[in-house]
Every structure is written in C-alpha cells, then in structure tokens.
C-alpha cells in the first residue's frame, strides 16, 4: 500500500550537499583559496591540525615555501596523516603545494608527499621580483586563463597517467592525475574561478563514488 511518502535518492542528496574542502592554513594565501571555494559552492575549512582532516571531502595545499611547510608538518607530527589523506582523498596543490605533491623534487632535492607522478624544479622562474601574470589557453575551455606566478616551480616532466591541462613555454603548469590536481601558479589570486570549480567537481565526483 502506498503510504504517501517518497524515498529520497541518496545519490541526489549527496550531489545537492556542498562538499567540504580543507585549506592547509600553515602559511601562504590560504584565505584567498577559502574565498574562491565558497564562491564556487563549496564549504571551506582552514586546516591547522591533524584532527581537522577528519570529515573533509578534499584538501588544498596552497603556495608558500615548501621547506617551511615540511618543517611545520614534521614538527607537529602532521606529515604522516597528510600523506595518508592525499593518497585517498582529492587534493589540489598550488605552487609550493605542487612541489609537495610531486614524487621527485629537484634544485635542490627535498622530501615530498610523493603522490603526483611528476618531476618539479623549485624556484625555476626566479625570485619574488621575477613574479609575473600570464594568460594561456587551457583544456578547461573559454578565454585564456589568467595565471599569477610568484617564485613559481616548473614541472619538468610527467608520467603517462598525468593529464596536462595547460602549459607555459612548453612545460606543464596545470595537471591532473586521477583525484590529484596541481598548478605552478596561483589561481586563488585571480577572479577567474575555473580551476577551483574544476577541483570542486572532482571532489563531488569522488564523494559520489565513495557513497
């Protein structure tokens, strides 16, 4: 007998509920990432402790200084838990975050989370004074994307399972590998939200796949 009630579809509920994405808030312009996430419909959490990783659907590792990041993470016992998170949940690394994700870091070599199948060269485009704003076509479609470079690294090479979404001077600057996204520039410093929107879509798809 029809009770007059309807059962909700769990998949539809998942899709309509905003994803919760953390932004590692140890250094860098994490606040700008949080604003960008909110503008594209995600809930943003500033992450400063291991406990805050629980319950997140995804994570952004922002720019800053990669060696300083490592010191903070190692000092607080954060590194092992973060490594486990990035192996299992969608993660987006920008600038220093891109360096931390790479499985090989050069100039000079340093430790990393070693999940992105790429070789990344630190400070490849020079010092702070050599920062620049470029515009380039991307696989995201639409007009050329504004890219803000600040002491940017260079992705020297990527494995076959890494999709190159944008390039600068023949080198990848925006790449995707499964649930990982990495950029050598700072999309949070632009008004163009296409990169953050892509990451939110990746996080939503991953959450639905786990449901």
Catalytic residues: 95, 186, 188
Cross-strand partners of 92: 60, 181
How far is residue 45's CA from residue 20's CA, in Å, rounded to a whole number?
7
Query: Is residue 182 within 8 Å of 162, Cβ to Cβ?
Result: no
**Measuring CA to CA, how many Å separate 109 from each of 99, 103, 181, 182, 206?**
11, 11, 22, 19, 32
Q: End-to-end distance of the chain based on CA atoms, in angstroms? A: 30
């Amino acid at each position: 007998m029809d009770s007059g009630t309807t059962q909700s579809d769990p998949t539809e509920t998942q899709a309509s509920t905003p994803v919760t994405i953390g932004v590692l808030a140890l250094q860098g312009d994490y606040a700008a990432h949080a604003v960008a996430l909110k503008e594209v419909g995600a809930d943003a959490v500033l992450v400063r402790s291991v406990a805050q990783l629980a319950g997140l659907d995804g994570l952004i590792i922002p720019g800053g200084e990669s060696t300083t990041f490592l010191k903070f993470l190692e000092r607080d016992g954060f590194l092992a838990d973060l490594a486990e998170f990035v192996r299992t949940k969608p993660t987006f690394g920008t600038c220093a975050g891109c360096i931390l994700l790479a499985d090989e870091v050069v100039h000079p070599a340093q430790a990393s989370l070693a999940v992105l199948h790429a070789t990344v060269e630190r400070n490849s485009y020079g010092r702070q004074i050599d920062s620049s704003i470029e515009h380039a076509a991307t696989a995201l479609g639409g007009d050329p994307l504004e890219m803000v470079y600040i002491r940017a690294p260079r992705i020297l090479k990527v494995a076959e399972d890494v999709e190159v979404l944008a390039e600068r001077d023949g080198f990848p600057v925006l790449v995707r590998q499964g649930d990982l996204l990495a950029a050598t520039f700072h999309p949070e410093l632009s008004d163009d939200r296409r990169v953050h929107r892509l990451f939110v879509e990746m996080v939503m798809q991953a959450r639905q796949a786990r449901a």
